[in-house]
Amino acid sequence: MLLLIQYTIIFTAILSLVALGGCFSEHSGVINLGLEGTMVIGAMGGALLMRMLPDGTPVFLIVILVILISIVVGMLYSCLLAVSAIHCKADQTIIGTAMNLLGVAVATVIVKAINLSINPDDPSSIVQYVAEKQAFLVNIGDFEFNWFSLIALVALIGSYVVLYKTRFGLRLCACGEHPQAADSVGINVYKMRWAGVLISGMLGGLGGIAYIIAGASEWKFENGVAGFGFLALAVMIFGEWKPHKILMAALVFGFFRALGNVYSGIDFLSNLNIPSAFYTMLPYIISLVILVFTSKKSRAPKAEGIPYDKGVR
Amino acid sequence: MENAYAIEMLNITKKFPGIIANDNITLQLKKGEIHALLGENGAGKSTLMSVLFGLYTPEEGIIKKDGKEVKISNPNDANDLGIGMVHQHFKLVECFSVLDNIIMGVEPVKNGFLDKSVARKKVTELSEKYGLHVDPDAIIENITVGMQQRTEILKMLYRDNEVLIFDEPTAVLTPQEISELLQIMKNLAAEGKSILFITHKLAEIMEVADRCTVIRKGKYIGTVDVKTSSPAELSALMVGRDVNFHVEKKPQELKDVILSVENMSVAGEPGKQDVIKNVSMKVRGGEIVCLAGIDGNGQSEFVYALSGLLPVKSGKIKLCGKEIQNMSIRKRSMSGMSHIPEDRHKHGMVLDYPLEDNMILQTYFKPNFTSKFGFLKRKNIRSFSDRLIEMYDVRSGQGSVTIARAMSGGNQQKAIIAREIDKEPELLIAVQPTRGLDVGAIEFIHKQLVAQRDAGKAVLLVSLELDEVMDVPDRILVMYEGEIVGEFDPKAVSQEELGLYMAGAKKDEVKV
Amino acid sequence: MKKNILKNNGFQTLLASLVCIVLGILIGFLVLLMIEPSGAFDAIMSIVKNFLNYSRANLQIKNLGKTLVKTAPLLMCSLSILFSYKVGLFNIGAAGQYVVGACASLYAAIAWQWGWLPCLLLACVASGAVGALVGAMKAYFNVNEVISGIMLNWIALYVTNMILGNVKAASNPYTRVLAEANKSAILPTMGLDRVFGLQYVSIAIPLAILFAVLVWVVMNKTKFGYELRATGLNKNAAKYCGMAENRNIILSLAISGALAGLGAAFLYLTDIEQWKCTVSAVPQMGFNGIAAAFLGGLSPIGTIFASFFIQHITEGGTQVDMTMYCSQISDLISAIIIYLCGFTAFLKLAMNKAIAKFESKNAKERSTK
């Protein structure tokens, strides 16, 4: 049971981080379907750094550096979306899809190249980080506390404050709702959208590294992040693009995701003799069901997905 | 010596590919005056204002503020110079509060956080000073259009703007709201604000403006002193010829009831009240009935319910005696209903289809155009389209194969009208069929509506333009907040009287 | 007056696609250079040359055959993407519908010993049903088809692994080889196998091309296509003139799904590959279909060539020097190509602007003379 709580917390944290990423981008008016790819790239950045750091690096330094690199890499990657969607009026769905495919391909190519250069007999796309992973965990009795849970909590509160209590948030939301209105009072829509997408990349990258650390102590990059970026988007829709509701939505999804990891340890569930694949599928099924019930009345930012053109008004 | 002009735009020329939108236009706005800018749709008023706001850079000409030449390259520059504008389509974020909309762009901040208390105080003070009565905490989407416009005015006042521009501000208002707005404008001018008032409504100019600049087809026609001028003179300047507003009609020959609506209600958005409340009405063959009212009082929803785009909550719709309220859109259309939609780009056309494919939008499935095996008969489609183009004088670059997007608005509308009338409907529903068109096209469309009436068909016209409401129909029904509140003979009612009904100040029990 | 060929929409599309290809390969080359400069040129050449890497003619033709065998399913997947995209829907779920097609055809072939034709039909129906499900959720519940498609991709993958686990070989995680399990389920070859010297070359290839032509005919020559394109271009107008919007959404996604499912059957019923029941990622085929569809300028005929090209470089990718690089470099190139395809509209706009500028300049010069 403790394990279930532990996993629920960490998956909720990851989903919240990535969903908030989607939230910032969409509030600025850009749909970020490329979060999945951004997660992979962020995860790759962090994982490679963890492997390269010399043994005996202070725990504190590991945490800070890994987080920093994931954020930076995620932001850089999201520039692909920003440039195309904000300046070239590209179809945001195609670009997002391309970014997801590209993320996995780039990570695989890079990791394999590095693996090969270290050991010519190792053509895998696996990165190990057994020791470094411990830097992110604090054991409180049997409970494993993950620093990312705290980071996610801070991000949630921070996002709420930024979106609703600051000048930046007011302007950001205006750009996603009615960019012409924002422009007419001197707000630079392009700049705000860049900000939205970059924050989105930052949170996506952070979510990526958090995801692979929560899993095992090694990661095979050919597999990407198994649709987690899209689950986060479902969380965002379910959470009505609002940080406090995103937390609630993430809790629901996080719980079902955790169930897949630990169900065998819960007597009641393992006695049911349901094949393990069912539990693996559960989050996806739940998200479909929830989308069916929530999409009809969803209130997305009005101008999302529509390229802004100064000339047209 | 202090300069008498707040803003001077001297010899402005702005060209677009293939068109000169502004050709050597000069506009001088005196301090503390209300200056009208008069011109038809497409005369170049919006372009001129966009130049003033730095949205376009003119090829020639200069702008002066208080006698000094200034360079305005974006709206921020205009803001910094104290120039503000109430746009025709409000620039308000609907899910924000009034206050948030007002402070947006110039937000007061304390320790990095928004400090709304200062702003709220200033807004309340301004609101009281000019008699605007706006609640700063109301959400935009919940307040009336008039209040939204006042929010826009407060936006300018909050920024201490000295030059206020109103772009067609009365188009969306009730007559009562209009007179209140004109009073507010007078108050503002009395306080020393300089006002530029863009409009094509002569009566309003006569009431508030001190001077009036007229432009026509991108050219500067002249500036006149309003007190020494007359509506007839202004009108002649605006259109360049005397316009006969009157629509020629044969004496009426009423036929059987074609459309009959009985106690129809249409549900609003979830949690809100019905948009159409228990409405009953009839349209007979040989008459044009006009559904008048201020925009957003349920006219659109009423027509959507008739045509099947919105479901009916309760009540009946009968077309030639047959109940149609549960029929599909297609079946209603086949039963003799044609619908010229309000928004030709949204509903009326597939803009990326060639003209011929748009001409068959309502009939493509008929045996004339589709073979038994589901293949399109291209030859028939072409000759059909060519015929309509010829008959209705639809002008397009390459005839039937022209992509609809490349056509002018007037010709797009003509094509839609050709398509809908050629179906030989019993009932023709025309929603704002002349919106945004030039005088020639308007005349053509009115003639077509009257021709349908004279042929014994029923015509339901939905219009927001008072001129059209008074001139075209045989009978007027006024709709207010989803109910029909009055029925009139256009020959026996004054515009003022209609205005009272449209604003909900008066209400009759309307018998069917 | 002579019509400027540069203004022709089809020509612009072709040009834009070529630019995407060249840039994609160039970026791929740069990546290879960064990994290991010494072999980069050889590697990019192996990718571009694919079957031409072999010096002997019979080997060349055999490997061309191998590429073609995999082009057929790719073409079906890209037709699937294209079909729904014309209606304004992005069926990223094609990848999962492809998986369902594999599941249905292989299970029917091995467990029920069905012949190839019923197997194809079952794949068609099963994948079509999944497509219809996405459509129904979109039509009746306004569920974003991209997100529901992705969710269904993963569900399809896990379900397929579970079902096909029942018909897998005893010694490895792959499904049983059809040549042993049920010969009648293997697609007929009609002599194509002898032409290419490869037994896997079957009627799937001409069939796929036939489907491309069929899609073109349906889209451009029929009432149904007229409705679908109208819905894709202006949903509101389609509704206004009484087209059954929901029916069209569901139908087009069902057809889209069926095309993808057939694609899978076109691959697995040749017996060239078996399904790996432990696979943990959705097969790339459906996603490559996106690249091929856009690279082909969203035209069914253009897609034939684009599919061949994408498969060509994907196969070429398996021939790079594995001691230095990995085959995923081809995935990287196709992903870059999809990304660049997002810019085609922008590119065309820029082209038209440049032409207009050039022409007005010319006109001015002429008038001054």
DSSP assignment of A203-261 equals: HHHHHHHHHHHHS-SEEEGGGTTTTHHHHHHHHHHHTTT-HHHHHHHHHHHHHHHHHHH
CB spacing of B96 vs A297 below 8 angstroms: no
pLDDT at C134: 96
**A contact residues 125-154, partner C, Cβ 8 Å cutoff:** 125
Residues 6+ apart with CB under 8 A from B344: B409, B412, B413, B416
Q: What is the mean pLDDT of chain A?
A: 89
pLDDT of residue B83 exceeding 80: yes
Q: From the CA of C3, how many Å to the nearest CA of chain B?
A: 14
Mean pLDDT comparison of A195-199, C33-37, C277-281, highest-scoring range: A195-199
Q: Do A177 and B91 make contact, defined as CB atoms within 8 angstroms?
A: no
Q: Which of residues 26-85 of A touch C (CB under 8 A)?
A: 33, 80, 84
Average pLDDT score over residue span A150-177? 95
A&C contacts, CB < 8 Å: 151
| Chain C residues with CB-CB distance to A91 below 8 A | 342, 345
Q: Is the pLDDT of residue A313 over 50?
A: no
Minimum Cα–Cα distance from A87: chain C residue? C346
Lowest mean pLDDT across B397-406, B437-446, C156-165:
B437-446
pLDDT of residue A39: 96
Question: Is it the case that residue C69 has pLDDT exceeding 80?
Answer: yes
- pLDDT value, residue A308: 84
Q: Is the pLDDT of residue C21 over 60?
A: yes
Which of the listed residues B239, B273, B295 is the one where a domain comes to its end? B239
Which residue from B43, B442, B350 is spatially nearest to B218, judged by alpha carbons?
A: B43
Looking at residues B441-469, what average pLDDT do you find? Answer: 89
Cβ of A288 within 8 Å of Cβ of C342? The answer is no
What is the reported pLDDT for B493? 87
Domain CATH for B440: 3.40.50.300
Q: Note the pLDDT tens digit of each residue in A10-66.
A: 999 999 999 999 999 999 999 999 999 999 999 999 999 998 888 888 888 999 999
Q: Which residues of B325-351 are buried (b: 16+ CB within 10 A; e: fewer)?
A: bebebeebbbebbbbbbbebbebbbbb
Contacts A293 to C, Cβ<8 Å:
141
The nearest CA of chain B is from the CA of C242 a distance in Å of 4
Of the listed ranges A213-222, C168-177, C305-314, the least confidently predicted one is A213-222
Contact check, Cβ <8 Å, A170/B270: no
Q: Which residue of B has its CA nearest to A162?
A: B113
Per-residue CA distances from B294 to A225, B150, B169, B482 (Å): 54, 17, 14, 11
Give the A-side interface with B, CB within 8 Å: 161, 165-167, 170-171, 173-174, 177-178, 180-187, 297, 302, 310, 313
Contacting partners of chain C (3+ CB pairs under 8 A): A, B
Burial of residue B225 (CB within 10 Å: 0-12, 13-18, 19+) is exposed
- Mean pLDDT calculated for residue range C34-39: 86
Percent of chain C residues past pLDDT 70, beyond the cut: 97
Of C150, C332, C342, which is closest to A227 when you measure between CB atoms? C150
Which of C81, C339, C344 has the highest number of chain A CBs within 10 A, making it the mutation to test binding with A? C339
Token duo for residue B234? 């202004």
ipTM of the shown complex: 0.89
Q: By C-alpha distance, which of B181, B382, B182, B426 is closest to B284?
A: B426
Length of chain A: 313
Check whether residue B411 and residue B429 sit in a common domain.
Answer: no
pLDDT reading at B420 higher than 90: yes
| Chain C residues in contact with B364 (beta carbon < 8 A) | 223, 226-227
The pTM of this model reads 0.85
Residues 293-332 of B with CB under 8 A from C: 307-309, 328-332
Beta-carbon count within 10 A of B408 CB: 14
Q: Does the beta carbon of B19 lie under 8 angstroms from any beta carbon of chain C? A: no
The tally of domains found in chain B comes to: 3
Chains touching chain B through at least 3 C-beta pairs below 8 angstroms are A, C
Which candidate from A117, A125, A284 shows the least CB-CB separation from C151? A284
Torsions phi, psi for B83 (to 5 deg): -105, 125
CB B179 within 8 A of CB B186: no
**B349–C237: do the CB atoms touch at under 8 Å?**
yes
CB contacts of C237 in chain B (<8 Å) are: 346-350, 361
CB-CB under 8 Å, C142 with A84:
no
Tell me which chain B residues have a C-beta less than 8 angstroms from the C-beta of A174: 93, 96, 104
- Contact call for B362 and C226, based on CB within 8 A: no
Interface of C with B (CB under 8 A): 221-224, 226-227, 229-230, 233-234, 236-244, 356, 360
CA distance B87 to chain A (A): 10
Residue B1 pLDDT > 80, yes or no?
A: no
Distance from CA of A249 to the nearest CA of B (A): 22
Asked whether A174 and A181 are in contact (CB, 8 A), the reply is: yes
Identify the bridge partners of residue B60 per DSSP, sorted by sequence position. B13
* Position with higher pLDDT, A123 vs B109: B109
Yes or no, beta carbons of B346 and C242 under 8 Å apart: no
**pLDDT band at residue C2, thresholds of 50, 70 and 90?**
very low
Task: Measure the CA–CA gap between C192 and C199, rounded to whole angstroms.
Answer: 8
Query: Which chain B residues have a beta carbon less than 8 Å from that of A166?
Result: 109, 112-114
Give the highest mean pLDDT range of A283-292, B8-17, B422-431.
B422-431
Mutate to test the interface with A, among B104, B141, B152, B154 (most CBs of A within 10 A): B104
What is the predicted pLDDT for the residue at B42? 66
**Tokens for B401?**
């194969």
Would you state the pLDDT for residue B276?
93
Q: What is the pLDDT of residue B46?
A: 81
Residue with tokens 């790719």: C74
Q: Which domain holds residue B163?
A: 5-239
Q: Taking residues A230-240, what's their average pLDDT?
A: 90
Q: Contacts of residue B269 in chain A, CB cutoff 8 Å?
A: none
Average pLDDT over residues B287-309: 91
**CB within 8 Å: C338 and A93:** no
Q: Is the pLDDT of residue B466 over 80?
A: no
Chain B residues closer than 8 Å to C240 by CB: 307, 309, 329, 339, 341, 347-348
Instruction: Supply the DSSP symbol for C51.
Output: G
The answer to whether residue A150 scores a pLDDT higher than 50 is: yes
Region A303-309 average pLDDT: 82
Cα separation, A78 vs A96, in Å, equals 10
Task: Answer yes or no: do B431 and B352 share one domain.
Answer: no
What's the pLDDT tens digit per position in B171-223?
777 777 888 999 999 999 998 999 999 887 778 888 999 999 998 878 898 99
User: Do B258 and B226 lie in a common domain?
Assistant: no
**Domain ranges for chain C:** 68-330
Mean pLDDT, residues B117-138: 91
Percent of chain C at pLDDT > 90 equals 61
d(CA B306, CA B345): 20
Report chain B's mean pLDDT, rounded to a whole number: 88
For B11-49, write each residue's pLDDT tens digit. Answer: 999 887 667 888 999 999 999 999 999 887 667 888 898
CB atoms within 10 A of CB B471: 16
Q: Which residue of C has its CA nearest to B344?
A: C237
Shared domain for B366 and B321, answered yes or no, is: no
pLDDT mean over B385-413? 88
**Rounded distance between C-alpha atoms, residue B116 and residue B123, angstroms:** 10
CB contact under 8 A, A187 and B105: yes
Mutant choice from C3, C142, C218, C226 vs B, greatest count of B C-beta within 10 A = C226
| DSSP helix, strand, coil percent of chain B (3-state; round to 5) | 35, 25, 40
C-alpha to C-alpha distance for A288 and C136, rounded to whole angstroms = 12
pLDDT-derived band at A168, boundaries 50, 70, 90: very high
Measured at the alpha carbon of residue C119, what is the angle toward residues C116 and C123, in degrees to the nearest 5? 140
Shared-domain flag, residues B90 and B195 = yes
d(Cα B156, Cα C92) in Å, to the nearest integer? 47
What is the average pLDDT across A92-112?
92
CB within 8 Å: A91 and C331: no
Quick check: helix, strand or coil at residue B57? coil
Confidence (pLDDT) at A98: 93
B11, B117: one domain:
yes
| pLDDT mean over C77-86 | 95
Alpha carbon of B378: minimum distance to chain C alpha carbons (Å): 9
Q: Do A185 and B155 touch (CB under 8 A)?
A: yes
Which of B283, B262, B200, B216 lies closest to B453 in space, CA to CA?
Answer: B283
CATH topology of domain C68-330: ABC transporter involved in vitamin B12 uptake, BtuC (1.10.3470)
Give how far the C-alpha of residue C146 lies from the chain's centroid of Cα atoms, to the nearest Å. Answer: 17
**B339 contacts in C (CB within 8 Å)?**
240
Which comes out higher in pLDDT, residue B47 or A100?
A: A100
Per-residue pLDDT at C6: 67
Chain B positions touching C142 (Cβ under 8 A) are none
Does B365 contact C237 at a Cβ distance shorter than 8 Å?
no
Residues C348 and A89: their CA atoms lie apart, in Å, by 12
How much is the average pLDDT of B272-293?
A: 91
